[in-house]
A and B are shown apart, each in its own frame.
Chain A
Amino acid sequence: MQHEDPRNGESAHRSSKKPKLSSKFITESDIRDEFSHHHPRVARINNGSFGSCPGSVLTAQRHLQLQFLRQPDAFYFNTLRDGITASRKIIKDFINADHVDEVSLVDNATTAAAIVLQRIGRSFAEGKFQKNDTVLMLHCAFQAVKKSIQAYVTRAGGSVIEVRLPFPVNSEEEIISEFKKSIEEGKSNGRKIRLAIIDHITSMPSLVIPVKELVRICRAEGIEQVFVDAAHAIGSVKVDVKEVGADFYVSNLHKWFFCPPSVAFLYCKKSSSSSDLHHPVVSHEYGNGLPVESAWIGTRDYSSQLVVPAVLEFVNRFEGGIDGIMKRNHDEVVKMGKMLAESWGTNLGSPPEMSAAMIMVGLPSRLCLNSEEDAVTLRSHLRDRYEVEVPIFHQVFKDGEEGVRDKDGFITGYLRMGKRAKCFIRNEEAVMKVRAAFHGINICVLPSSDACGITQFLKNQTKKRKEHRRRKLYASWKPRNGESCCLRGCNEVESLGTYAFLLAIDKAETSNVGIGMALLQMVRIHWSMLDQPKLLKPWLWVKHV
């Protein structure tokens, strides 16, 4: 690799900063450091939208940005192209593509969709396709992809078929049968299906789709080309483009693969028509193949495309590498999803084997989510009031469709929980926050090193709420069966009117189930200690000692 290796600087820095412990794997405190730039109090359960990028990769990226600014011409002539090729090679190996020419780097899946659909549009415009030939897509395809179809396919005279997926879903067969039905519809009246767009992992609601099977069905039914929109896939599920067998496959690396915003790869299986794919922003590289075209679309910051080597190094510091991360993400998110669903008496949107690092959890019908606006309002409320960031999905039922019920009514809303292995503690806190939020309890998490934090925090609260009376409580709960969570004895410290709990957790590795149980316990104690049943917005502090 000709480009200056940005990792040299940062790994030297890291080893001087922290002596490596006996384990060669990344430790929890390393992880906390890597993500120390995240807002400390916000529970980020929405990893799916914008991802998260570790500090060491950001440092590598900054280094590259500075290199460009320092001498841009030299960077352009000597560093840029080779750096992008190096990233492409890594990705090619990762996704099991045959040739690096099949791998292009673009900004995001949105751009990849424009590339593929522009070509379809041209085929309609140039008469290669007949008017009313069809493009097939999932009903819950990403909004940008739907608009792209409108801009390039519908406008050019093509028609669109939407596959309506069932939700909540109980098995892959349900999806496969809906898909087959839609293909029949698409081929009716002598039309040809020119392109099928299949999500590997849908966005809202989030499900893992059995793409391999669906692509096989497409081939059997004579669908010319298949485009898999796998924006969420890499870092979430195993990606093997030869196994999937699609003509085009795109995934964002900045969602689940720790890259900074933004970078995605578009895989295009080599075929006779590969030379007719073009980046919509045309530079002097036009005609030199999509990977080369995409590597230069005018002067811009390409640094996020150059840090893939640094990201791979980061990922390999985890036990099991990316596979280990994926497995742990999946296990944790399913566990937490189940905990929430149980505590609310609701359901999960899909069985665990159809979720990867995200899961849909039914929201209590008591919340009365009746529209998209309600969902947006709830989301903003959770963000502003409770510092929880989580996407809310509102389900629209067709006439005659019935949803799942909980004890109070129909479940119309789901939250999408995304689990990131990096923050074991933070995500458990996040889950607690979400749960507590719905019980009307606020949780405030103080950094573990902050010994005086609680006192200071209380002082601030006192200033803010002088008129309220507040009581602090510690509750104790004895752990069972190796649970390492331990709560302390109960003391009334101050009485300021608003009830509060201070939960002191003994050790850093506390299982989420343990914390969840402790929280339940706290809530029960809280209820029992209230003189009046009406809640006065009590606060719950969680401090790690």
Chain B
Amino acid sequence: MASSLHDAPSAAVNGTFAADAKSQVHKKPRLYADPSPPLFTPSDILSEFSHHDPAIARINNGSFGSCPSSVISAQNDFRLQWLRQPDDFYFNQLQPKILQSRTIIKDLINADHVDEVSIVDNATTAAAIVLQQIAWGFAEGKFNHGDAAVMLHYAYGAVKKSVEAYVTRAGGQALQRGKQNGRRVRLAVIDHVTSMPTVVIPVKELVTICREEGVDQVFVDAAHGIGCVDIDMKQIGADFYTSNLHKWYFCPPSVAFLYCKRSVNNSDLHHPVVSHEYGNGLAIESAWIGTRDYSAQLVVPKVLEFINRFEGGINGIKKRNHERVVEMGQMLVEAWGTHLGCPPEMCSSMVMVGLPACLGISSDRDALNLRTCLREKFGVEVPIYYRSPKDGEEGGVTGLGMQSINLLTMHSLVLLFPIHKLK
């Protein structure tokens, strides 16, 4: 086992980055002769993430992402520029740079117009923005009491609370089943990639169904979307789509985009924190919500540069992540005699792996304890999800999130699971 640990990583490295062997040979001269920057070598990648704790196996990329040090440097440069002369930065630099980031995102997601793209802190904020306008709809009598907002059972905790805060409170109903008793469904909240458990939802089909059923607006919460699955706004066809760039798109914490399709229905969107820009459009409002550090929103160009130094760019990264995480998931499943949470084609860069029943996980608390134990005793960071079993199923499931930097982690996880010892 020990020897396989030592051999396997280099095999994985060589296997994955076969193409990079070429660039390794030509590395220095190519830098000058070739206008496009060279592809990353494995040691480049290690140094870009040298700030990560080397003793921890980070299998939970989905929660907080990972940001390369070249992007962090760029972010620190912006912070220093601000501190050096904040008024000048505010008047002359901030807005154009945010616009630049928005333009890049617009192209990445195939939106029609940059006005449709606003940058916010995170998907949680985006949810508040979308739900707030629903609340006004009820408050101002546009909607009838009892009209509904529909969301997935596995919707993210914050989104559920946001629906409670804005919709239920204003007189709407939050439903997990469709329309009943002649109520209209004003909003459907669909996850693109659910969080816990993690599954890729066929959003395009669901949006179509919503349209057919006469749902007013569709909001896709794709917190894990960009960098994890393919996203094309025009293809998906939702009214609102949000995704965090700091999860799978290498941005520092935190930055997300909220796409709002231009239409009559949604001209009334506002950021809940109101500044003097109120009324100038959501994108402009979101670009100034009082004095704060906006540097994370300014590094998107730098991130794009970073991504394009991987073979195949973001698509190459997504593909390799997916393949590797499925491979690793299947290896664990075999070793433990459990099963995957869903078929590989419904996994993105994350996969759910059933935990052995002998671990005896029978509550959320158990799951959290196991997670803490793994972190503190074994140096493994991985989210554990508990689902109450239905008829003979196991209780505990773990979600593994694989980002392209995690070469050693899965091997460590297999090693560390002499299961009987954990009991």
Contact = CB atoms under 8 A, between A and B. Distances in A.
Interface of A: 37-39, 42, 44, 46, 49-50, 52-53, 58, 62, 66, 68-74, 76-77, 107-111, 113-114, 117-118, 122, 125, 143-144, 146-148, 150-152, 155-156, 252, 254, 260-262, 278, 280-287, 297-301, 304, 380, 383, 389
Contacts of B66: 69
B273 A280 contact: yes
Contact of B52 (A71, A111, A146, A151): A71
A120 to B, nearest CB: 13
5 contacts: A49-B87, A49-B291, A74-B381, A110-B290, A262-B291
A107 B121 CA distance: 12
Given A71-B52, A109-B290, A283 B161 contact: yes
Contact of B139 (A146, A156, A280, A297): A156
Interface stretch (B125-133, B307-315, B339-347): B125-133
B417 to A, nearest CB: 19
Contacts of B278: 147-148, 150-151
B72 A69 contact: yes
A281 B372 contact: no
Contacts of A117: 274
B83 A49 contact: no
Contacts of A262: 290-293
Please provide the 4 A-B residue pairs with the shortest distance between their CB atoms, ordered closest to farther.
A110-B290, A298-B124, A280-B272, A72-B64
Interface string B266-278: 0000101111111
A170 B64 CA distance: 55
B122 interface: yes
Given A70-B51, A108-B290, A287-B161, 16 more contacts: A37-B84, A49-B87, A50-B86, A68-B253, A70-B53, A71-B381, A72-B64, A74-B56, A110-B290, A111-B273, A114-B274, A122-B169, A151-B278, A286-B161, A299-B124, A299-B254
A79 to B, nearest CB: 13
A282 B124 CA distance: 7
Contacts of B64: 68, 72-73, 76, 299
A111 B87 contact: no
Contact of B375 (A38, A42, A73, A297): A73
A39 B291 contact: no
B336 interface: no
Nearest to A263: B292
Nearest to A117: B274
Contacts of B198: none
Given A39-B85, A50-B90, A69-B51, A298 B125 contact: yes
B118 to A, nearest CB: 14
Contacts of A284: 157-158, 160-161
A380 B90 CA distance: 12
Given A281-B128, A297-B125, A298-B121, A66 B291 contact: no
Contacts of A111: 273, 289-290
A38 B53 CA distance: 32
A389 B164 contact: no
Contacts of A74: 56, 375, 381
B274 A58 contact: no
A38 B87 CA distance: 12
B369 to A, nearest CB: 12
Contacts of B122: 298-300
Contacts of A39: 84-85
Given A118-B272, A284-B161, A46 B87 contact: yes
B80 interface: yes
B143 interface: no
Interface residues of B, number: 66
B88 interface: yes
Nearest to A384: B88
A44 B86 CA distance: 10
Most chain A CB within 10 A, of B72, B169, B253, is at: B253
B55 to A, nearest CB: 9
B291 A69 contact: no
A69 B127 CA distance: 25
B162 interface: yes
Interface in B54-91: 56, 58, 60, 63-64, 66-67, 72, 76, 80, 82-88, 90-91
Contacts of B273: 107, 110-111, 114, 280
A517 B124 CA distance: 58
Contact of B125 (A72, A155, A261, A281): A281
Nearest to A285: B161
B121 A300 contact: yes
B385 interface: no
Contact of B381 (A42, A73, A281, A297): A73
A261 B84 CA distance: 13
A37 to B, nearest CB: 5
Nearest to A75: B64
Contact of A299 (B161, B253, B381): B253
Nearest to A72: B64
B413 interface: no
Interface string B149-163: 000000001101110
A70 B50 CA distance: 9
A301 B293 contact: yes
B222 to A, nearest CB: 15
B82 A261 contact: yes
B274 A282 contact: no
A262 B290 CA distance: 9
Contact of A73 (B60, B121, B254): B60
Interface string B110-124: 000000000001111
Contacts of A299: 63-64, 122, 124, 244, 246, 253-254
A298 B123 contact: yes
B279 interface: yes
A57 B53 CA distance: 24
A72 B370 CA distance: 18
B402 interface: no
Contacts of A44: 85
A74 B83 CA distance: 29
B21 interface: no
B162 A108 contact: no
A383 B278 CA distance: 27
Contact of B88 (A110, A125, A383): A383
Contact of A50 (B72, B87, B161, B165): B87
A37 B80 contact: yes
B86 A49 contact: yes
B170 interface: yes
Contacts of A109: 290
A71 B56 CA distance: 8
Interface string B365-378: 00000001001000
B296 A69 contact: no
A252 B291 contact: yes
A147 to B, nearest CB: 4
A58 B124 CA distance: 28
A282 B128 contact: yes
Nearest to B293: A261
A380 to B, nearest CB: 8
B166 interface: yes
A144 B125 contact: no
Contacts of B123: 298
Contacts of A42: 85, 88
